[in-house]
Structure 1
Amino acid sequence: MLEKSLLNIIEKNKERNIMVIGDMVADVYLEGKISRISREAPVLILEHSEERVVPGGAANVVHNIATLSGKVYAVGVIGQDYAGQELTRILASKTAETAGLLVDNSRPTITKTRVMAGGQATVRQQIVRIDKEKKEALSVESEQVVKEYIAIQIADMHGVVLSDYGSHTVSPDIMNYVITICREKDIPCIVDSRYNIMEYSGIPIVKQNESEAAAAVGYEIRDQETLLSAGKTILDKLDAKAVLITRGPDGMTLFEKQNKVTQISVTNKSEVYDVTGAGDTVVATMILALAAGASYEEAARLANFAAGIVVKKFGTATATPNELRQAVGKHFK
């Protein structure tokens, strides 16, 4: 029965409207072939071969939802720059609605540039990462524009994601407004916050990885007892309906009201190549499933299958509906 239920949820994804509010990141990859050592300094000289922009942060959640056939609305702030333009173009090409991406001339698009070096006989490696972002909070004007867009669109949403990477897009005012509206209209709303999760009081659904959850409660998660304590603490303090803690090779643990705890094992431990962006895939899959009427456990189990797909791929990756169907079908054979 679970297999049939999960497959049915996958089919319903295309009918769901999802809003993603958060820190839109452009992951830029500068690729080069190693040429020689510089005479100016003991550093490599790379011959430039390629430059790619890949959606990161909240933009990766948008990308994942679009790939899973959801109708996704991206809400955030970008700069008047190449990275912002390219990020918008990529998301629009995936059928995401990008009218909610505010162009703010006073701040750059959040950009993480990775310089990648390699050659025909060498392994491709990241040699440096350069981050660019404005650390200050949004201006009152920008915050108001973002909030107005949310207010116009949110009533038509079947689910909302708050993707908070600590870059100030999800201001306290926007956070409280979204949580209140989603509670009033009974819209599933999930938060994934890297540094600030305990501020999200009243949020219905929480996703954290193990290290984020440990930081939130102030103690190390080292065994089953501390894991259960951390999950229950977050659930109770935020008055949430469900908390999902992702635990890498140890799977996921779902906490719900009435002390209901569900342990979910990873679907495949054998082919993990890259965990980059897997958390975004979990959030995207879970909110789509909940928007389609899944229970918290069904949504978490489907998200677990999606994570198992993307960790087999290099770099920030997504899962398709067909891949998800195949993974579910293979598991229940």
Structure 2
Amino acid sequence: MSQHLVNYIDKLQNQKIMIIGDMVADVYLEGKISRISREAPVLILEHSCETVVPGGAANAVHNAATLGGQVYAVGVIGDDNAGQQLTQVLTKKNVNTQGFIVDSSRPTITKTRVMAGGQATVRQQIVRIDRESRQALVTNIENQLLSYVEENIRNMDAVVMSDYGSFTVSSAVREFVIEACSKAGIPSMVDSRYNVMAYKGIKLVKQNESEAANALGFRVLDQNSLIQVGQEMLERLDSEAVLITQGPEGMTLFERCGSISHIPVSNKSEVYDVTGAGDTVVVTMMLALAAGASYYDAACLANFAAGVVVRKPGTATASPVELKRAIGEHQP
């Protein structure tokens, strides 16, 4: 099985994948603790550097590009520095960012983390500042986004909608993408934090345990309710496969044919940070499907990719070399 999966990794290269969703700029402001302020009982930090890292759907884009996919990123950014920096970071990764629609009436979705530490202290987050519009896209911007998708979607090998609840994937976008992919026979997948049951007709669904439970009115999932939720979601959305990730318990794949496959994590002992691992799972699975893998093999490969990124701090990516190494080192 391991060598079988390794053979797919080189086939991921240059698969065309469109990722539509809420593009986020994760900004890290680094500082050193200087002293306590005289104005208030708060720390004064001496600013040392600022880093912009792709977050939200942009993290999925970053992951797909690192794996070698030919990525078409589609989303909305503001006419601001965060949007420009996010575009620059992804362009350097050879991502096609022509699908970034600039809306001067709303800011780029930004999550700014102020990080601090001293010589003898551990670096830690002091505060996080979020900036985003709570309004739906205006008609002009939505039409521009739809126009770009319509012009390019039929050339794709796979399409992902990464819906973090920040209005990029409107009902019009959602319905057009599902119908266009269905007509063209293109694998389509949704990863939606709050609204997955609106994606009827999507071919593949990815949810974590909490999201899946909330979508169908459960507080938590045990083994029995997990199966119930997976099967009900598969049926109600008329999908071909549903993948529910379960943190340290791995993931479970439900297929329309009736197959239920549990895939355990590749290495429980090395989990460092699960931030963004779901995005890694989604794009790895979709690139593998585009390369000809079955749903099960694609999910297994995605599981190994997630095992790579959880060993790294923050939102991270897995390269083809790291993925091959992880599979080679795995002891079932």
String of CA shifts for 1:242-296, please: whole Å, max 9, x gaps. 0000000000000011321000000001111111111111111011001111111
> Do residues 71 (structure 1) and 70 (structure 2) align?
yes
* 3-state SS, counterpart of residue 181 of structure 2: helix
Structure 1 residue aligned with 2:327: 328
String of CA shifts for 1:153-176, please: whole Å, max 9, x gaps. 111100001000000000000000
> Do residues 121 (structure 1) and 120 (structure 2) align?
yes
Please show how residues 141-220 of structure 1 align to structure 2 within 5 Å. 141-220=140-219
Deviation at 1:145, TM superposition (A): 0.4
Amino acid at match of 1:242: A
Give structure 1 stretches of 5+ with no counterpart: none
* 3-state SS, counterpart of residue 313 of structure 1: coil
Q: Number of residue pairs matched? A: 332
Structure 2 residue aligned with 1:318: 317
* 3-state SS, counterpart of residue 137 of structure 1: coil
String of CA shifts for 1:103-126, please: whole Å, max 9, x gaps. 111110000000111111001111
1:220–1:226 CA contact under 8 A, matched in 2: no
Amino acid at match of 2:264: S
> Do residues 28 (structure 1) and 18 (structure 2) align?
no
Please show how residues 98-113 of structure 1 align to structure 2 within 5 Å. 98-113=97-112
2:265–2:303 CA contact under 8 A, matched in 1: yes
1:235–1:242 CA contact under 8 A, matched in 2: yes
Structure 2 residue aligned with 1:130: 129
1:221–1:230 CA contact under 8 A, matched in 2: no
Structure 2 residue aligned with 1:308: 307
Structure 2 residue aligned with 1:265: 264
* 3-state SS, counterpart of residue 68 of structure 2: coil
* 3-state SS, counterpart of residue 26 of structure 1: strand
Structure 2 residue aligned with 1:288: 287
* 3-state SS, counterpart of residue 236 of structure 2: helix
Q: TM-score, normalised by structure 1?
A: 0.98
Q: Determine the C-alpha separation between the residues in 2 that align with 1:259 and 1:40.
A: 65
Amino acid at match of 2:18: M
Q: Determine the C-alpha separation between the residues in 2 that align with 1:113 and 1:332.
A: 39
Structure 1 residue aligned with 2:224: 225
String of CA shifts for 1:36-58, please: whole Å, max 9, x gaps. 11111111111101110000001
Q: Determine the C-alpha separation between the residues in 1 that align with 2:270 and 2:52.
A: 26
* 3-state SS, counterpart of residue 324 of structure 2: helix
Deviation at 1:329, TM superposition (A): 1.6
Structure 1 residue aligned with 2:234: 235
Deviation at 1:332, TM superposition (A): 5.8
Give structure 2 stretches of 5+ with no counterpart: none
* 3-state SS, counterpart of residue 15 of structure 1: coil
Q: TM-score, normalised by structure 2?
A: 0.98
Query: What's the % identity of the aligned pairs?
Result: 64
Q: Determine the C-alpha separation between the residues in 2 that align with 1:135 and 1:152.
A: 28
